[in-house]
Structure 1
Amino acid sequence: MKNLHRSMDLPQILFSLMFILILIVACFWVVQPFILGFAWASMVVIATWPLMLKLQSWLWGRRSLAVVAMTLILLLVFIIPVVLLVNSLIDNSAPVIAWITSGHLQLPALTWLNDVPVIGKKLFAGYHTQVDAGGTAIMRKVQPYIGRTTGFFFAQAGHFGRFMLHLGLMLLFSVLLYWRGEQVGNGIRHFAYRLASRRGDAAVLLAGQAIRAVALGVVVTALVQGVLGGIGLAISGIPYATLLTVLMIFFCLVQLGPLLVLVPAIIWLYWSGDTTWGTVLLVWSCVVGTLDNFLRPMLIRMGADLPMILILSGVIGGLVAFGMIGLFIGPVVLAVSYRLVSAWMHEAPAPDGSPQEVIDELAEDQEELRKTF
């Protein structure tokens, strides 16, 4: 069929661009509820794709069995810890509420206020005046803050609900991507090649390496530290070890480390007189707390050579920008951008002249321009 070349006038070009823009916005509007879940699933599948292929080779080359095995692994890594955390919060909240409502909760005496210079005695007298009045004056002053705190917790409950929704979508999309991973990967590479030829294809491959590096360096390190710390808590006889283990994994994901949980546990053991297990947990905490200093860099370099400051900034910034799911999205976005910019920069040679020579050449060029004009 002969391809007839027609010249397009300006209104035709504008209306074509407008139609394409409307189509893109409409598509984005339709898939908007699924974007974060699909992005999370893509990162998980890219990071664990070599594991899935190895499982497939072990399971007689059956893709269906490998997908089932990977689904069970994702349930163990993501779904079950969240369910355990929720159950622990529900089970542990009942005794706390019962203790508060039983009348055992009393306001502290705050006798140390008397030792404060100048204003200590007045503060102590005013505080006990409020307490002796039945606490009504205190409650009247605190009431506005209670409303704000309640609103904050309701907002966090909404964030948790959205997180669970994205978690379910991540699991669903992960199953689909595991099943048709090659076709999806080839389609993305084809699209990138159509946009920017070989450079676009290379960008997709670099992005995959960055995603795998972040998953290995951040998530695997957090899981290893959290699980090892939880084993130490359980062996030492610390109550609510399951809840504290999940809390440690979260702290490790946000780069705060497991010591925020382990150190209070050690203090509690020594305070209760159990010095033997306190010493054991102290030694174990030193091992677990320093594990990330060599494990995380080693795992990151297995995927791609990325600076640690980039990973830390991505984790914290992603948490602020996207909530809990940003723990995974934030470092990946920064890592992918860093790899692409780095590859683009290295397409040109680095400057080889000394700074003073460059400045002198620039001054000479400016002097010649002045003489010309």
Structure 2
Amino acid sequence: MKYPEPQPSSRGGVTVEKNQLIEKTRARRLFLLALLFLLLYLTYLLFKPYLGTVVFAIVLTSVCQRFHKRVLQRCKDRKNLAAFLTTAMLVVIVVVPLVGFSTVLVNQGVDSFGQVNTWLQEGNIEKMLSWEWVQPLRSMINRQFARLGLEDLNVRKIILDASAGLGQRILSWGKDFLGNVTGLVVQCLLLILLVFYFIRDGQAILEKLKGLSPLSKEQEERLIDRVRDLSRSVVMANGATAVAQGFAGGIGLWIAGISPLFWGTTMAFTSLIPVVGTAVIWVPAVVYLVLVQSWGKALFLVIWSMLVVGSIDNFLRPFLMKGDGGISSIYLFFAILGGINFFGIVGILYGPLILGVAAILLYLYEHEYSEMLAEE
């Protein structure tokens, strides 16, 4: 009786083939991920010069989303027409006035510093330093300088050099601004184009990103809602408060006899700086009025700046930042400071946005791993 010869087990061969298949699949995935990250980095380099414009377009789109929904309803869901009308509204309200205003602002800034230089060259600073009530203060400062081994305080030279330097810098900024008209026009056109496409196709882009996200639907909605709330909050609260403070400050400066357009606009920008805010502008203005012995105007500017301009920051900003988009004042303080330090002036926008997104991601993490975190 013949027995069948034992066949070699195929289990070992199958296991080897399976392991090889797993390794090949892993290698393909790693290669695909490496290629993807490389191309994403190259894409970032392509968009880097226009990154600020892209972010600003996204924020503007988020801010005007509610208005666009109403326009879309009126246009009977014709997306192209609704997106065009919404974008045109933004251009008329934001872009055109901003460009024209910036040109006037640069010219008035140069004129303001030219007037300061003329006033100093006429010897007015020497007249002020000869006043009786200034002499004790000047002597005290000079004694302190002498102890430090420094020369006597030359106030005229210090102010003249500072004014000339700042005036030249503003003049340089103005020349760059006016000379780079082509670049400015390109940026404005790019902004308008991006806003149009984000308004029209924003929802489709968002759905595509959701499809690529590993987060749950609930987590995605929370994250998107948070970014929208923050965009509206940062733009509406900080932007509207800055404009209101700059406008009110400009009125006070105009009544006090100081150039309102340039310094009022500067006050609007400085209002975004935590703690010091508009005081960076109105305190030196008060000192100037005191030095020229305009006591009534100086007193008026102090009262106006503290009661009117200051109250705008205390009441308008908290009112506009109420709700889910609001950020604690202390966190907002560090977010704006860090944003300005790292990104420059656009950090006023980026800082709170980054902080807010980080906060919601921490919340999602806490919610996802609540059971594990609760274990002792």
TM-score higher than 0.5 here? yes
1:243 is aligned to 2:262: yes
Partner of 2:33: 17
Separation (CA, whole Å) in 2 of partners of 1:341 and 1:309: 18
* Cα deviation 1:78-102 (Å, max 9, x = unaligned): 43443333122222344455567x6
1:288 is aligned to 2:309: yes
Deviation (angstroms), 1:170: 6.0
* Cα deviation 1:319-340 (Å, max 9, x = unaligned): 1111112221121111222123
Change (3 A) 1:127 1:38: closer
SS at match of 1:253: coil
SS at match of 2:352: helix
Q: For 1:38-53, list aligned pairs within 5 A.
A: 38-53=54-69
2:109 to 81, 86, 89: 89
The code of the aligned residue for 2:233 comes to A
The code of the aligned residue for 1:254 comes to I
Q: For 1:254-273, list aligned pairs within 5 A.
A: 254-255=273-274, 256-266=276-286, 268=288, 272-273=293-294
* Cα deviation 1:109-146 (Å, max 9, x = unaligned): 9961697389569866x889xxxxxx9xxxxxxx9xxx
SS at match of 1:239: coil
In the alignment, is the contact (CA less than 8 A) between 1:214 and 1:335 conserved in 2? Answer: no
Which one is further off, 318-327 or 336-345? 336-345
Partner of 1:317: 338
Partner of 1:181: 199
Separation (CA, whole Å) in 2 of partners of 1:118 and 1:227: 40
In the alignment, is the contact (CA less than 8 A) between 1:38 and 1:170 conserved in 2? Answer: no
1:26 is aligned to 2:42: yes
Deviation (angstroms), 1:293: 1.9
Partner of 1:139: none
SS at match of 2:277: coil
SS at match of 1:290: helix
In the alignment, is the contact (CA less than 8 A) between 2:237 and 2:321 conserved in 1? Answer: yes
SS at match of 1:301: coil
1:207 to 227, 234, 239: 227
* Cα deviation 1:245-295 (Å, max 9, x = unaligned): 111111112233223333444555565446278437624641221222232
State the aligned residue count. Answer: 330
The code of the aligned residue for 1:185 comes to Q
Separation (CA, whole Å) in 1 of partners of 2:149 and 2:41: 64
1:330 is aligned to 2:351: yes
Q: For 1:49-64, list aligned pairs within 5 A.
A: 49-53=65-69, 63=82, 64=84
In the alignment, is the contact (CA less than 8 A) between 1:230 and 1:244 conserved in 2? Answer: yes
Q: Which runs of 5+ in 1 are unaligned?
A: 129-134, 136-142, 144-148, 363-373
The code of the aligned residue for 2:354 comes to V
Separation (CA, whole Å) in 1 of partners of 2:122 and 2:370: 74
Change (3 A) 1:122 1:114: farther
1:112 is aligned to 2:133: no
Partner of 2:91: 71
SS at match of 2:327: coil
Change (3 A) 1:92 1:267: closer
Change (3 A) 1:277 1:266: closer
Partner of 1:190: 208
Change (3 A) 1:284 1:190: same
Please report the RMSD computed on the Cα atoms of aligned residues, expressed in angstroms.
4.6
Change (3 A) 1:205 1:245: same
Of all paired residues, the percent bearing the same amino acid is 19
Partner of 2:329: 308
Separation (CA, whole Å) in 1 of partners of 2:100 and 2:66: 23
* Cα deviation 1:144-182 (Å, max 9, x = unaligned): xxxxx89x959x959x86x99689636632443245414
In the alignment, is the contact (CA less than 8 A) between 1:38 and 1:169 conserved in 2? Answer: no
Deviation (angstroms), 1:53: 4.5
Separation (CA, whole Å) in 2 of partners of 1:334 and 1:116: 48
Deviation (angstroms), 1:11: 4.7
The code of the aligned residue for 2:355 comes to L
Change (3 A) 1:157 1:320: farther
* Cα deviation 1:199-258 (Å, max 9, x = unaligned): 234322322222222222222211122112222322x14221101111111111223322
The code of the aligned residue for 2:332 comes to I
Which one is further off, 24-33 or 14-23? 14-23
